[in-house]
Structure formats: structure tokens, C-alpha cells
Amino acid sequence: MRAGFIGMVGLPNSGKSTLVNALVGEKVAIVSSKPQTTRKRVLGILNKTGLKNSGLDGADAQFVFVDAPGKIQDQKGLNAFLKQEYASVLLESDILIAVLNVDAPKFTYLEAIVNEVKDTGKPWLAVITKDDLPHPHRTVRLRSLVAECGVPCIAVSATRRAEQMKELLLPLIEEKLPQSPAKLFDDEQFTDQSERDIVAELVREKCFQTLHDELPFGLATKVMDYKRKQDRVYAAVDIVVVKKSHMPIVIGKGGQSLKRIGVLAREEASRLLGAPVDLKTFVKCQEGWVSDPLRWKEYGYVSRV
Ligand SMILES: Nc1nc2c(ncn2[C@@H]2O[C@H](COP(=O)(O)OP(=O)(O)OP(=O)(O)O)[C@@H](O)[C@H]2O)c(=O)[nH]1
Ligand SMILES: [Mg+2]
């Protein structure tokens, strides 16, 4: 059989997490319109067995998609961690997908992604994302850039049918996957994240989606208490901000904003965990945590290199 790690390499906000979620068919990674939503590497696991109309046949295969932060230049604060996570995907994956978003600020940024992926010498292919947006010239230029490298290139859109995209992409990925004597993960596992990680990330996603631009960069979440009892989940989650002045913004007028974050996170966590979730959220301040690598660990940002 074939099995291996498929690393997603692209700019921040290029649609890497959206793509992994669509390919796996589960919410593996959180998504928002803010750049640098993904902070640490997460795995999304897809088994060929059980896939309907996948366009795949023959021996079994396991696809382990590696979602990670996008390519950033800045080294300040937590960005140093994000940069390491980005680099580790290039190093540790068996094959790579260059995720090229048509709405990137500059074409040269996309060329840099292609060059970086190509220079690893690993098998790779390209996916053009956000193809529904009006940038037809970008799509044409990207296609010819990738064609020069002699690798496949598929243009996709999150607004188009995910099944169709899987049919196109999975066979191309499968033929590049290495042979493996066995699966790398159990059949029923769709991610490497624990239930606690999933809840913490969902609360962070709802904060990113609900709050204004200045907040997310210094916002982290941490599960302080977690129990599964008689098929109910009880979770207490701290929402930690970097400045005291951010606390009332997260809470909102009359607690409206925090309430909305809680409701949205609870609904989605209940669906993903397959049990009703009682969720309590607490807003706290940890002055300057983003500049303190010891504190990063507290919020799960643990360096692996
Ligand atoms: N129009 C359009 N928007 C998309 C598409 N794919 C993703 N998006 C949006 O682009 C934004 C970023 O998507 P993500 O999947 O979080 O991107 P990412 O590359 O994981 O971003 P980071 O984790 O911040 O590096 C979100 O608002 C998505 O809804 C697409 O095909 N079309
Ligand atoms: Mg992401």
C-alpha cells in the first residue's frame, strides 16, 4: 500500500486549511479570513477505503495531510514559532503541495513558494486556490509557471463541489505517495489532535471570526478543565489576550461578543465530538505572552526542531 505525509505550502491566508478540510471531509483545521490563523502543524488523515467515487481503485492508501502556517518573513514574537512550523513541513513531508492563491498580494510571492517547494527535490504538485475570484490572468500565469516545472496543477475553489475536487486531486497525490508496509494512523482517526486541542482551536477560530483585526495576533486559548461524563462533554476554556485593554473587546457590550463566541464554538464542538458540550469561557490577560517562548508552550506552541 501507499501512505505518507503531504505538506501544504503556501502564503498565509491562501486556503491551505480550507483545502485540507475539504480533502479529509472533516473539520481538521480552523479557518478565518485573518492571516496566520493556523499557528501549529496539524494532521488531517484520509483513508482510501471507505471513499466513494474517489476516482481511486486498487491497493489501499492513507493520505496524511499536513496543514501548517504560511510563509512569513517576520521573526518577531510568536512569528518565530510560525516560521519554524512552516520550515518543518518542507523538511518532514514526503510530498508537497504548493498552494497558490490567485489573490496573493504579489505574483513574486507565489513564485517564491514554487521555488521553495521545487528546491526541496521532493515530489510535488500545485493547487491554485480561490479560482472563483476574478483573477483569470493570475490563473493563466500560475499554470504556465507550474507547467515549466513539469508537475500537475489543479485549480480549485472552496465554493465548488468538494467531491469533484477530490476526484481530480487524490489520484495525482496517490501516485506520488511512497510505498508503506502499513498505515501510519488508525482507520478511525481523522486528525492527530486530541479532543481538548479541538475545543481550544474551535474557540480560537470563533474569536478570530468574531473579533476585529487588531485582536487575533495576541490571542490564544487554553483548555483548563475537560471531562467526558455520561456522553456529555464539560470544557472550561481560557481566552488569553496580550493587553488588558483587549479584554473588554473580547467580552463585548453586555458580554454579547463572548456569548456569541461561546455559542458558535459549543455548536461546532458538539457536532465534531459527537456529544453535547457544556462550554465555559473565561477571558484573561497574560501581558506580552507572544514575546515569551516559555509561555508559547503553555498554549501548545511547542517547538519540535
Ligand atoms: N473565495 C474563496 N475564498 C476562499 C477559498 N478557500 C479559502 N477561502 C477563504 O480564504 C480565507 C483563508 O482560508 P484558510 O483556509 O484559513 O487559509 P490558510 O492558508 O489556512 O491561512 P493561514 O492559516 O492563516 O495561513 C478564509 O476566509 C477562507 O474562507 C476559495 O476557494 N474561494
Ligand atoms: Mg490555516
- In this structure, the residue with its CA closest to atom 32 of ligand 1 is 130
Place of cell 496580550: 242
How far is residue 297's CA from residue 295's CA, in Å, rounded to a whole number? 5
Single-letter amino acid, residue 285: C
pLDDT of residue 161: 76
Single-letter amino acid, residue 25: G
The ligand 1 atom nearest the CA atom of 158? 31
**Residue 164 CA, ligand 1 centroid: distance in Å:** 19
| Cβ 134 under 6 angstroms from ligand 1 | no
**CA separation (Å) from 167 to 161, 182, 300?**
10, 24, 35
| Cβ 158 under 6 angstroms from ligand 1 | yes
pLDDT of residue 55: 60
Q: How confident is the model at residue 53 (pLDDT cuts 50, 70, 90)?
A: low
pLDDT of residue 96: 98
- In this structure, the residue with its CA closest to atom 24 of ligand 1 is 36
What is the per-residue pLDDT across 256-272, written as a single tens digit (0 to 9) for each? 999 999 999 999 999 99
**CA separation (Å) from 48 to 1, 82, 132, 154, 172?**
10, 31, 28, 20, 13
Beta bridge partners of 8: 97
| Cβ 38 under 6 angstroms from ligand 1 | yes
The ligand 1 atom nearest the CA atom of 70? 25
Task: Say if CB 281 and CB 262 are below 8 A apart.
Answer: yes
Q: How confident is the model at residue 217 (pLDDT cuts 50, 70, 90)?
A: confident
pLDDT of residue 111: 98
How far is residue 147's CA from residue 153's CA, in Å, rounded to a whole number? 8
Task: Say if CB 39 and CB 200 are below 8 A apart.
Answer: no
pLDDT of residue 212: 79
pLDDT of residue 106: 95
pLDDT of residue 58: 76
- 88-92, 107-111, 296-300 — which is least confidently predicted? 296-300
**CA separation (Å) from 265 to 31, 32, 136, 258, 283?**
13, 14, 36, 11, 15
> How many CA atoms does the CB half-sphere of 283 hold within 13 Å?
22
The ligand 1 atom nearest the CA atom of 133? 1
Beta bridge partners of 278: 234
- The average pLDDT across 126-149 equals 94
Nearest ligand to the C-alpha atom of residue 35: 1
The pLDDT of residue 235 is above 90: yes
- The average pLDDT across 106-116 equals 97
Which among 31, 138, 165 is the best mutation to test ligand 1's pocket, defined by most ligand atoms within 8 Å of the CB? 31
What is the per-residue pLDDT across 142-190, written as a single tens digit (0 to 9) for each? 999 999 999 999 999 987 777 888 889 999 999 999 999 999 999 999 9
- The average pLDDT across 15-19 equals 96
| Cβ 97 under 6 angstroms from ligand 1 | no
**Residue 119 CA, ligand 2 centroid: distance in Å:** 23
How far is residue 71's CA from residue 303's CA, in Å, rounded to a whole number? 17
| Cβ 130 under 6 angstroms from ligand 1 | yes
The pLDDT of residue 204 is above 80: yes
Q: How confident is the model at residue 232 (pLDDT cuts 50, 70, 90)?
A: very high
How far is residue 74's CA from residue 250's CA, in Å, rounded to a whole number? 26
What is the per-residue pLDDT across 269-294, written as a single tens digit (0 to 9) for each? 999 999 999 999 999 999 989 999 88
HEC letters along the chain: CEEEEEEEEECCCCCHHHHHHHHHCCCCCCCCCCCCCCCCCEEEEEECCCCCCCCCCCCCEEEEEEECCCCCCCCCCCHHHHHHHHHHHHHHCCEEEEEEECCCCCHHHHHHHHHHHHHCCCCEEEEEECCCCCCHHHHHHHHHHHHHHCCCEEECCCCCCHHHHHHHHHHHHHCCCCECCCCCCCCCCCECCCHHHHHHHHHHHHHHHHCCCCCHHHCEEEEEEEEEECCEEEEEEEEEECCHHHHHHHHCHHHHHHHHHHHHHHHHHHHHHCCCEEEEEEEEECCCHHHCHHHHHHCCCCCCC
- In this structure, the residue with its CA closest to atom 3 of ligand 1 is 130
Near ion ligand 2, which residues have CB within 5 Å? 16-17, 37-38
| Cβ 77 under 6 angstroms from ligand 1 | no
